[in-house]
Structure 1
Amino acid sequence: MEDEHIRIDDLSSHLGPLFKFPKPSAFYGVFDGHGGPEAAAYVRKHALRFFFEDVDFPRTCEVDDVFMEGVENSLSKSFLLADLALADDCTVNSSSGTTALVAMIFGRHLMVANAGDCRAVLCRKGEAVDMSEDHRPIYPSERRRVE
């Protein structure tokens, strides 16, 4: 099996007193490995460092536009940091990779982010609503981004 996941239902308690998030606060991640299990396991093992410790994640209990913008910026930096760390770590097989999908809950706010051919889908009144888009080279916008 090349898949990994992380589930933290009470993020404030899990991270300790430096982070003051509203209730509920949670962090979930799914990492779908390919070419071996190493990359997915590595990202799962270091997820808290990548997503909260190394990126100047906002540490406030006030969920407003400034906080959510800070979360969005931190998520972008986190994905880049994880990618660079994977490339640098000699213990991870160079042919191993992973997609990543994370979801964070802060009070009544939900933020998702993904890398690779995975996406978040929300069911609203029986209808599937895409919350993110796959990153695949068949999509012109993704092809332009990576070229």
Structure 2
Amino acid sequence: MAGSIGLLLLLLLLLPSFACMIGSLSGHCCCWLGLALLLLSLFPCCCASCLWQSTDDEDDGGGGDGEKVRLMGLAGEATSPASGGGFSANGKFSYGYASSLGKRSSMEDFYDTRIDGVDGETVGLFGVFDGHGGARAAEFVKQNLFTNLIKHPKFFTDTKSAIAETYTNTDSEFLKAEASQNRDAGSTASTAILVGDRLLVANVGDSRAVICRGGDAIAVSRDHKPDQSDERQRIEDAGGFVMWAGTWRVGGVLAVSRAFGDKLLKQYVVADPEIKEEVVDSSLEFLILASDGLWDVVTNEEAVAMVKPILDSEQAAKRLLQEASQRGSADNITCLVVRFLEQDNQHIRPTNDQAS
């Protein structure tokens, strides 16, 4: 219902322009314009409310819950900041997370942290999922994406293809599960997969991944925004359009150009991830995954500078969250830090605080 009303509002907003073009041929532009304004005046509260619920205006992506323990309930439940962390059994990396409701009235961020043994090899899976239009999409992706991935037959032989196919297949599963829902929902995803000495980062939307290599901050994901030339071209080639509505939006509604869910815009808002691979070597210090609740107020370089002196990954994630809060972030905030450990750091031991 909300999605339908949102589209109605969009049509009403465009009606005056179309009316003037048609009316100019018959001299009735003013009449058409008056009718459009009258319709808008009848539905402003209802349409604006539903459009806000569908897009969540400032909140166009999502984080998640991790450790296979439910961090957050669905939107509207009482929540409090949460944090945690652990080590890989082979001692090669540590991880920490921190997540907060922030200034929002509901929680749509989820995250997932898993350390699994797959065919005898230790695999790390980390993700931040920032929902919009409710928590359903972000929660679904958190619960299913990595489970689907490690079952993929090409997980070791062609990991990039496995990731890409798992993203699109999980999206299809969510859309099927949402068939009976009247409201639309979607989610971003920023994920990191550690397999041996390979780090594979994949994303859709604007939850960002940044690494510190040799002391430098390097973005290893790209925020998917509809005003980017290639994204805009892809959307227009598919029959959609991008327009300004406070920011650039797909169909005047959604501020990210790729996401899970968003069934009403699915033809244009795809769940095809961009994937980047990095080698895990002595120059790679740590990885930061975070929702835009952090990146809206903290630059890549600032985030890396904050994390660098903090060896404890959980404390590093909490530091980022604290800084984003102090800078007035208006969104849910979820931060996840993975620190790569040198093999001679024998004083660092794995703990039982890890997912399996």
Q: TM-score range by the shorter chain?
A: 0.7 to 0.9
Q: Residue 87 of structure 1: which of 146, 167, 175 is its match?
A: 175
* Runs (5+) with no aligned partner, structure 1: 13-18, 60-66
Structural RMSD (CA): 2.0
Superposition deviation, residue 135 in structure 1? 1.4
Secondary structure (helix, strand or coil) at the match of 1:112 reads: strand
2:155 pairs with 1:58: yes
Question: Residue 34 of structure 1 corresponds to which residue in structure 2?
Answer: 132
Confirm or deny: 8 A CA contact 2:149 2:155 kept in the other structure: no
Superposition deviation, residue 83 in structure 1? 1.6
Tell me: CA distance 1:44–1:107, structure 2 relative to 1, closer, same or farther (3 Å): same
Tell me: CA distance 1:127–1:56, structure 2 relative to 1, closer, same or farther (3 Å): same
Amino acid at match of 1:57: K
In the aligned structure 1, how far is the partner of 2:175 from the partner of 2:231?
21
In the aligned structure 1, how far is the partner of 2:198 from the partner of 2:167?
20
Question: Residue 4 of structure 1 corresponds to which residue in structure 2?
Answer: 110
1:74-114 Cα shifts (integer Å, max 9, x gaps): 11111111221121113766421100011000111100100
Identity %: 33
Confirm or deny: 8 A CA contact 2:131 2:137 kept in the other structure: yes
Confirm or deny: 8 A CA contact 1:31 1:100 kept in the other structure: yes
Secondary structure (helix, strand or coil) at the match of 1:137 reads: coil
Question: Residue 98 of structure 1 corresponds to which residue in structure 2?
Answer: 187
2:225 pairs with 1:136: yes
Amino acid at match of 2:159: V
In the aligned structure 2, how far is the partner of 1:31 from the partner of 1:92?
20
Q: TM-score, normalised by structure 2?
A: 0.34
Q: TM-score, normalised by structure 1?
A: 0.77
Question: Residue 102 of structure 2 corresponds to which residue in structure 1?
Answer: none
Tell me: CA distance 1:133–1:139, structure 2 relative to 1, closer, same or farther (3 Å): same
In the aligned structure 2, how far is the partner of 1:144 from the partner of 1:129?
26
Amino acid at match of 2:113: R
In the aligned structure 2, how far is the partner of 1:107 from the partner of 1:93?
44
In the aligned structure 1, how far is the partner of 2:139 from the partner of 2:194?
23
Q: Residue 78 of structure 1: which of 166, 188, 210 is its match?
A: 166
| Count of residue correspondences | 129
Tell me: CA distance 1:21–1:106, structure 2 relative to 1, closer, same or farther (3 Å): farther
Tell me: CA distance 1:92–1:21, structure 2 relative to 1, closer, same or farther (3 Å): farther
Secondary structure (helix, strand or coil) at the match of 1:120 reads: strand
Question: Residue 47 of structure 1 corresponds to which residue in structure 2?
Answer: 145
Superposition deviation, residue 49 in structure 1? 3.4
Tell me: CA distance 1:72–1:94, structure 2 relative to 1, closer, same or farther (3 Å): farther
* Runs (5+) with no aligned partner, structure 2: 1-106, 237-356
Confirm or deny: 8 A CA contact 2:110 2:138 kept in the other structure: yes
Superposition deviation, residue 123 in structure 1? 1.4
Confirm or deny: 8 A CA contact 1:112 1:132 kept in the other structure: yes
In the aligned structure 2, how far is the partner of 1:99 from the partner of 1:21?
31
1:107-126 Cα shifts (integer Å, max 9, x gaps): 11100100112221101233
1:8-54 Cα shifts (integer Å, max 9, x gaps): 12x21xxxxxx32534x21111111111111101111112333232x
Question: Residue 210 of structure 2 corresponds to which residue in structure 1?
Answer: 121
In the aligned structure 2, how far is the partner of 1:117 from the partner of 1:95?
19
In the aligned structure 1, how far is the partner of 2:234 from the partner of 2:171?
16
Confirm or deny: 8 A CA contact 1:118 1:135 kept in the other structure: no
Q: Residue 20 of structure 1: which of 119, 125, 131 is its match?
A: 119
Greater Rg over alpha carbons, structure: 2
Tell me: CA distance 1:145–1:87, structure 2 relative to 1, closer, same or farther (3 Å): same
Query: After the TM superposition, which segments of 4 or more aligned residues of structure 1 sit over 6 Å from their partners?
Result: none
